[in-house]
Amino acid sequence: MIAPGATIVVTWTWRFLCRRCDTTWSVRPDELLARHRYTLAAILVAWFLATPRPVGDGKDDEAVYALVGVDRRVPGPDPDRAGTPRWRSLSRWTAAIPRWWPARPVVGTQWRQRATALIAGFIPGDGGRDGAVRRALAAHIAGGPTM
């Protein structure tokens, strides 16, 4: 199930091997983060959906999964998970905050607290949620972190 208005775009990541130095290079669209299936903008929107009000929408995990197109009802191939799919990306992505926004210290011990602290810093200004996402993307690009 994909949320109304959401789109899934299939992209190619081209990998090249330098025969001279044995270095592998990947070429992908700029908006796609290395080793990620979601764009940075999609990650920010997912955090907005999950973070508590008044910053975000305060949706529970299942609602966020449904809105971003993750179907948890289908059992995964891992027998250790007893047929209960898990999607830990929301919490995993918060570990990357110091790399993606090195100038933005965040506080909290749980991922929702850390995501809320980050997002709250981008809200002041015009443009509501879209403006906050634009400011977060601009801050990420200006910080020059490796994507």
- Is residue 21 situated within a structural domain? no
Please determine, for residue 126, whether its predicted confidence score (pLDDT) is greater than 90.
Answer: no
* Phi, psi dihedral angles at 86 (to 5 degrees): -125, 150
Please determine, for residue 77, whether its predicted confidence score (pLDDT) is greater than 80.
Answer: no
Whether 107 contacts 114, CB under 8 Å: yes
Q: Which two tokens stand for residue 104?
A: 């933005």
- Is residue 87 situated within a structural domain? yes
Q: What distance in Å separates the CA atoms of residue 99 and residue 47, rounded to the nearest whole number?
A: 17
Region 83-110: mean pLDDT is 83
- Is residue 3 situated within a structural domain? no
Q: What distance in Å separates the CA atoms of residue 72 and residue 79, rounded to the nearest whole number?
A: 15
Please determine, for residue 130, whether its predicted confidence score (pLDDT) is greater than 80.
Answer: yes
- Is residue 7 situated within a structural domain? no
Q: Which two tokens stand for residue 49?
A: 């959906």
Q: Which range marks the domain in which residue 41 is found?
A: 33-143
Q: What is the DSSP code string of 91-110?
A: HHHHTTHHHH-TT-----SS
- Is residue 4 situated within a structural domain? no
Look over the chain and give the mean of its residue pLDDT values, rounded to a whole number. 79
pLDDT at 111: 92
Total-model pTM: 0.72
Instruction: Report the number of distinct structural domains present in the chain.
Output: 1
Region 14-18: mean pLDDT is 86
Region 78-99: mean pLDDT is 73
pLDDT band at 48 (very low <50, low <70, confident <90, very high): very high
Region 125-132: mean pLDDT is 82
